[in-house]
Each structure stands twice: as structure tokens, then as C-alpha cells.
């Protein structure tokens, strides 16, 4: 199962939203990481056939997804960033409606809906109107609708936005469980969403794909750049001005700064293990000198 993105670009009137992106995707979770406006959503929408590329092609098993039409739509599941729903429909009615639009027979749909609602712990809410659900519950219904057709390609755009930490963990685990036999494309700007589940991370910046590698390899590239420095309150400003400063932790014995720098930022600085937050800071915090 190969989804191939070749030289894909998307230009809006005044902006090159996606710029010559190339990637080859097989089974597993791919985390698209980038700041707001980096082109993640535009790329996701092209992969979900909501939008088309101005140039380049997206192929599935060598066939252009635009030419595949409903054959492609049959094998994808999509959860948009802003998930709409008919608020007067009950959860079950809404899911049956989407199932029928996905061409799933009623009997099969009934079973699938029951199973998936059980998985996301929403069985007792199946008769509740969509408009009455909390944000987290709506997102869970969103992922259920995306999984109804057992998609070979699951595309989820910023799925954890607005969820509390518990919901985020539940959602992340659900994605990891479902990723076994499919391509899961997850776009986010929250690094913890993909830290443990992504097979590869694709870093997007200004519409370009600047990195595509395993989390481990990406972290290895910056492993000597992360430092922990103990500082006084008065020194914080100095460090923020000169270095890329991540966490500022106030501890009982003083303040601990997490700094990204090629050189040792202070005499008492200690090299510490890197995490994806450091990686994010490394690529996206351009406002601070290093």
C-alpha cells in the first residue's frame, strides 16, 4: 500500500501554501508537524480530495487519486479540522447517515457503529443529539465516522485541538490501535500527539516539507544541542534574547532553563536528552537567536 506525493504544489491568490512536496507513505502513522499556516491542512485536504494540487500528482498504488474518484474516496477516512455535523441528528442517526454515504450496507453499518462506539466509549450516548455532546465526544464521533468504512488511508487534521489531556491520550491510543493495517496521516502542532505513535514525522514549514524521518533519527540530529541551565530570575531575559529557550521551570532551588544551542550556553550548562518539543523549537522558533 503506497501513497505517493510527487512535486505537489498548491497556490492561493497571494500565497504558495504547499510548495513542491514529495513523500512516499506506507502503512503506519505519519505525523505532519508544523506551525499554523505551514501548509499541513492544505496538504491534508489535497490528500482527502477536498482540494486539488496546482501541480504535481498524488497517486495510490501508482494511480492518480483524481482519476480514481469514488474508488479512492471509498478507501479513505477523513476527519477535518473543523468537523461539522447535523446537530439535530442523534449520534447513531448521524453515523448511519455517513455510513450510507460511504456505501455501507445497513446491517454491516449497524454492527460497525456498535463496535466503534464501544471502542470510543460512547455506546451510552448513541441516542444523544450531536448538538448536546461535549467537544471531546464530538471528536470521538468524528473518528468513528472516519473509521466506519475500515479505511486504508485515515486522514485526521488537528484531531486533538480542544481536547483535555485525558481525551488526548485516549484519542492518541485509539489512532495507534487502528494504524496497524493502514496509512494514518495525522496533522498537528502538538508534539505529544505524535511523540509515541508516529512511524515518521514530516516537518512542514512555509509550505515545504523540510524533514521526513523517524522520531529517533530526527532527535539524534539535535542531540548535542539541548542544554539545561540553572539561572537566576535576572538572567532569564539575557538567555531568552541570546538563545532559543524552551521550558522555564521554577524549582525550589532556583530556575532551570532548557536551551537549544550549538555551543555550551553557560559554564554550568549540562547536555540533556532531547525530546520532540526541542525538535519543534529547533525548527519553528525563529524569533530567537542561537
Partner 1 sequence: MDKEIQEYLDSYKVDFPNEEEIESSIEYIMAEAVPKARTAHLFQQRAKGLIGNCARELLRFGGLFWGLNVLFLLLGVITLVTYKTDPYLTAFALSPLPFIIGILEILKSKNEGLIELEMTLKYNLQQIFISRLLVVGLFNLVVNIVISSICVVVIPDVIFIKLLLSWTIPYVVVTGLAFLIAMKLKGNGASGTLLAIWFAVCYGLLQVNDIREMIVELDIMPAAGILLAGIVLWLINMRKLKRIEIGREYHGA
Residues that bind partner 1 (CB under 8 A): 45-46, 48-53, 66, 69-70, 73-74, 76, 78, 80, 82-88, 97-98, 100-103, 145, 149
Smallest distance, partner 1 to C-beta of residue 193, A? 21
Judged by beta carbon, residue 85 or residue 243, the one nearer partner 1 is 85
Smallest distance, partner 1 to C-beta of residue 147, A? 13
Smallest distance, partner 1 to C-beta of residue 148, A? 10
Q: Are 22 and 7 in contact (CB under 8 A)?
A: yes
Judged by beta carbon, residue 110 or residue 199, the one nearer partner 1 is 110
CA dist., res. 180 & res. 183, Å (int)? 8
Taking alpha carbons only, the member of 194, 207, 197, 208 closest to residue 279 is 194
Smallest distance, partner 1 to C-beta of residue 103, A? 4
Smallest distance, partner 1 to C-beta of residue 177, A? 22
- Indicate the pairing of strand 208-213 with strand 200-205: antiparallel
CA dist., res. 50 & res. 71, Å (int)? 15
Number of residues that make up the chain? 290
Judged by beta carbon, residue 102 or residue 205, the one nearer partner 1 is 102
- The interaxial angle of helices 91-101 and 106-119, nearest 10 deg, is 130
Judged by beta carbon, residue 60 or residue 78, the one nearer partner 1 is 78
Smallest distance, partner 1 to C-beta of residue 81, A? 9
Residue whose C-alpha cell is 533519527: 217
Q: Are 26 and 183 in contact (CB under 8 A)?
A: yes
CA dist., res. 280 & res. 203, Å (int)? 9
Burial of 195: CB neighbours in 10 Å, binned 0-12, 13-18, 19+: middle
Q: Are 183 and 30 in contact (CB under 8 A)?
A: yes
Smallest distance, partner 1 to C-beta of residue 6, A? 16
Judged by beta carbon, residue 78 or residue 280, the one nearer partner 1 is 78
Judged by beta carbon, residue 103 or residue 162, the one nearer partner 1 is 103
CA dist., res. 232 & res. 118, Å (int)? 52
**Helix or strand holding residue 144 (H, E):** helix 135-147
Judged by beta carbon, residue 29 or residue 76, the one nearer partner 1 is 76
Amino acid at each position: 500500500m503506497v501513497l505517493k506525493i510527487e512535486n505537489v504544489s498548491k497556490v492561493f491568490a497571494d500565497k504558495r501554501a504547499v510548495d513542491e512536496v514529495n513523500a512516499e507513505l506506507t502503512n503506519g502513522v505519519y505525523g505532519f508537524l508544523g506551525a499554523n499556516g505551514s501548509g499541513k491542512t492544505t496538504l491534508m485536504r489535497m490528500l482527502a480530495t477536498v482540494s486539488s494540487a496546482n501541480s504535481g500528482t498524488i497517486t495510490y498504488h501508482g494511480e492518480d487519486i483524481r482519476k480514481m474518484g469514488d474508488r479512492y474516496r471509498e478507501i479513505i477516512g477523513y476527519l477535518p479540522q473543523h468537523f461539522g455535523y447535523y446537530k439535530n441528528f442523534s449520534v447513531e442517526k448521524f453515523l448511519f447517515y455517513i455510513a450510507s454515504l460511504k456505501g455501507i450496507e445497513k446491517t454491516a453499518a449497524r454492527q460497525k457503529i456498535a463496535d466503534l462506539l464501544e471502542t470510543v466509549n460512547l455506546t451510552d450516548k448513541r441516542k444523544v443529539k450531536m448538538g448536546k455532546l461535549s467537544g471531546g465526544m464530538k471528536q470521538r464521533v468524528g473518528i468513528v465516522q472516519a473509521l466506519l468504512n475500515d479505511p486504508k488511508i485515515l486522514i485526521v487534521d488537528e484531531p486533538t485541538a480542544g481536547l483535555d489531556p485525558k481525551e488526548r491520550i485516549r484519542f492518541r491510543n485509539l489512532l495507534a490501535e487502528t494504524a496497524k493495517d493502514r496509512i494514518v496521516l495525522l496533522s498537528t502542532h502538538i508534539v505529544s500527539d505524535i511523540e509515541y505513535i508516529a512511524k515518521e514525522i514530516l516537518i512542514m514549514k512555509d509550505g515545504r516539507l523540510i524533514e521526513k524521518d523517524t522520531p529517533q533519527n530526527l532527535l539524534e540530529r539535535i542531540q548535542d544541542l539541548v542544554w539545561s541551565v540553572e539561572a537566576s530570575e535576572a538572567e532569564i531575559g539575557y538567555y531568552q534574547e541570546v538563545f532559543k529557550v524552551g521550558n522555564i521551570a521554577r524549582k525550589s532551588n532556583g530556575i532551570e532553563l532548557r536551551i537549544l544551542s550549538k555551543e555550551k550556553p553557560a559554564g554550568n550548562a549540562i547536555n540533556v536528552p532531547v525530546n520532540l518539543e526541542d525538535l519543534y523549537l529547533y525548527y519553528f522558533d525563529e524569533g530567537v537567536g542561537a
